[in-house]
Amino acid sequence: MSNPPLSEKMEMNIKTNRKKTWILLLLLFAAITCVGCDKRDLRGKAEKSKDGQTYLVIEDDNGGACGPLYVDGKIWPHKIHEAGTIAPGTHTIKCGTEIEFNIPPGTTFHFDYWGP
Protein backbone atom coordinates (compact mmCIF):
# COMPACT_ATOMS: atom_id res chain seq x y z
CA MET A 1 0.00 0.00 0.00
CA SER A 2 1.36 3.39 -0.90
CA ASN A 3 1.63 6.34 1.44
CA PRO A 4 -1.02 9.05 1.01
CA PRO A 5 0.09 12.22 -0.70
CA LEU A 6 1.66 14.90 1.45
CA SER A 7 -1.41 17.16 1.28
CA GLU A 8 -3.61 14.39 2.75
CA LYS A 9 -1.15 13.92 5.61
CA MET A 10 -1.18 17.66 6.28
CA GLU A 11 -4.97 17.72 6.23
CA MET A 12 -5.17 14.83 8.72
CA ASN A 13 -2.60 16.58 10.92
CA ILE A 14 -4.62 19.80 10.85
CA LYS A 15 -7.80 17.94 11.87
CA THR A 16 -5.95 16.23 14.71
CA ASN A 17 -4.53 19.55 15.89
CA ARG A 18 -8.00 21.14 15.83
CA LYS A 19 -9.38 18.36 18.00
CA LYS A 20 -6.50 18.76 20.44
CA THR A 21 -7.02 22.52 20.51
CA TRP A 22 -10.74 22.14 21.31
CA ILE A 23 -9.99 19.64 24.04
CA LEU A 24 -7.40 21.97 25.57
CA LEU A 25 -9.81 24.91 25.39
CA LEU A 26 -12.54 22.89 27.10
CA LEU A 27 -10.15 21.78 29.84
CA LEU A 28 -8.95 25.36 30.31
CA PHE A 29 -12.53 26.62 30.53
CA ALA A 30 -13.38 23.93 33.10
CA ALA A 31 -10.31 24.80 35.18
CA ILE A 32 -11.10 28.52 35.13
CA THR A 33 -14.72 27.85 36.02
CA CYS A 34 -13.76 25.70 38.99
CA VAL A 35 -11.22 28.20 40.27
CA GLY A 36 -13.79 30.99 39.96
CA CYS A 37 -16.34 29.14 42.09
CA ASP A 38 -16.29 30.19 45.70
CA LYS A 39 -17.40 27.85 48.42
CA ARG A 40 -20.97 28.67 49.25
CA ASP A 41 -23.96 27.03 50.76
CA LEU A 42 -27.00 26.46 48.55
CA ARG A 43 -28.93 29.10 50.51
CA GLY A 44 -26.31 31.82 50.56
CA LYS A 45 -22.75 32.85 51.22
CA ALA A 46 -20.87 32.95 54.53
CA GLU A 47 -18.10 35.50 54.95
CA LYS A 48 -15.86 35.82 57.97
CA SER A 49 -17.26 38.60 60.16
CA LYS A 50 -15.02 41.51 61.12
CA ASP A 51 -15.55 41.12 64.86
CA GLY A 52 -15.87 37.33 65.15
CA GLN A 53 -19.59 37.49 65.95
CA THR A 54 -22.21 35.64 63.89
CA TYR A 55 -24.69 37.55 61.74
CA LEU A 56 -27.51 36.91 59.30
CA VAL A 57 -28.28 39.18 56.36
CA ILE A 58 -31.44 38.34 54.44
CA GLU A 59 -30.74 39.45 50.88
CA ASP A 60 -33.93 38.11 49.29
CA ASP A 61 -37.45 38.28 50.74
CA ASN A 62 -38.92 35.59 48.46
CA GLY A 63 -40.72 38.11 46.29
CA GLY A 64 -41.90 40.27 49.18
CA ALA A 65 -45.57 39.30 48.92
CA CYS A 66 -45.59 36.68 51.67
CA GLY A 67 -45.81 38.95 54.68
CA PRO A 68 -43.19 39.24 57.43
CA LEU A 69 -40.03 37.14 57.49
CA TYR A 70 -39.69 34.63 60.31
CA VAL A 71 -36.39 33.24 61.54
CA ASP A 72 -36.65 30.37 64.01
CA GLY A 73 -40.36 31.05 64.44
CA LYS A 74 -39.96 34.75 65.35
CA ILE A 75 -40.45 37.82 63.17
CA TRP A 76 -37.04 38.94 61.90
CA PRO A 77 -36.66 42.53 63.17
CA HIS A 78 -34.09 43.61 60.60
CA LYS A 79 -34.59 45.04 57.12
CA ILE A 80 -33.57 43.33 53.90
CA HIS A 81 -29.77 43.65 53.41
CA GLU A 82 -29.30 44.58 57.10
CA ALA A 83 -27.16 42.38 59.36
CA GLY A 84 -28.63 41.04 62.58
CA THR A 85 -26.83 39.02 65.25
CA ILE A 86 -27.75 35.37 65.45
CA ALA A 87 -26.38 32.24 67.10
CA PRO A 88 -24.33 29.95 64.87
CA GLY A 89 -25.90 26.66 63.84
CA THR A 90 -29.04 25.41 62.13
CA HIS A 91 -31.90 27.86 61.62
CA THR A 92 -35.21 28.06 59.80
CA ILE A 93 -36.48 30.94 57.73
CA LYS A 94 -40.08 31.31 56.67
CA CYS A 95 -41.80 33.53 54.14
CA GLY A 96 -44.42 31.57 52.26
CA THR A 97 -42.24 28.48 52.57
CA GLU A 98 -39.99 27.32 55.40
CA ILE A 99 -36.35 26.47 54.77
CA GLU A 100 -33.62 25.15 57.03
CA PHE A 101 -30.05 26.41 56.66
CA ASN A 102 -26.81 26.48 58.64
CA ILE A 103 -24.73 29.47 59.72
CA PRO A 104 -21.08 28.79 60.59
CA PRO A 105 -19.74 30.53 63.73
CA GLY A 106 -17.93 33.84 63.30
CA THR A 107 -19.47 34.60 59.92
CA THR A 108 -21.92 36.93 58.27
CA PHE A 109 -24.31 34.68 56.37
CA HIS A 110 -26.03 36.28 53.37
CA PHE A 111 -29.25 34.32 52.77
CA ASP A 112 -30.22 34.76 49.11
CA TYR A 113 -31.86 31.62 47.72
CA TRP A 114 -35.39 30.35 48.44
CA GLY A 115 -35.54 27.79 45.62
CA PRO A 116 -35.57 24.03 45.87
Domain ranges across the chain: 1-37, 44-111
Q: Would you say 113 and 100 are in contact if contact means Cβ atoms under 8 Å apart?
A: no
31: CB partners within 8 A, 6+ apart: none
Q: What pLDDT is attached to residue 46? A: 94
Mean pLDDT (whole number) for 11-30: 71
Mean pLDDT (whole number) for 93-110: 94
Q: pLDDT tens for residues 26-74? A: 666 655 554 445 566 788 999 999 999 999 999 988 888 788 899 999 9
CA atoms within 13 A on the CB side of 10: 3
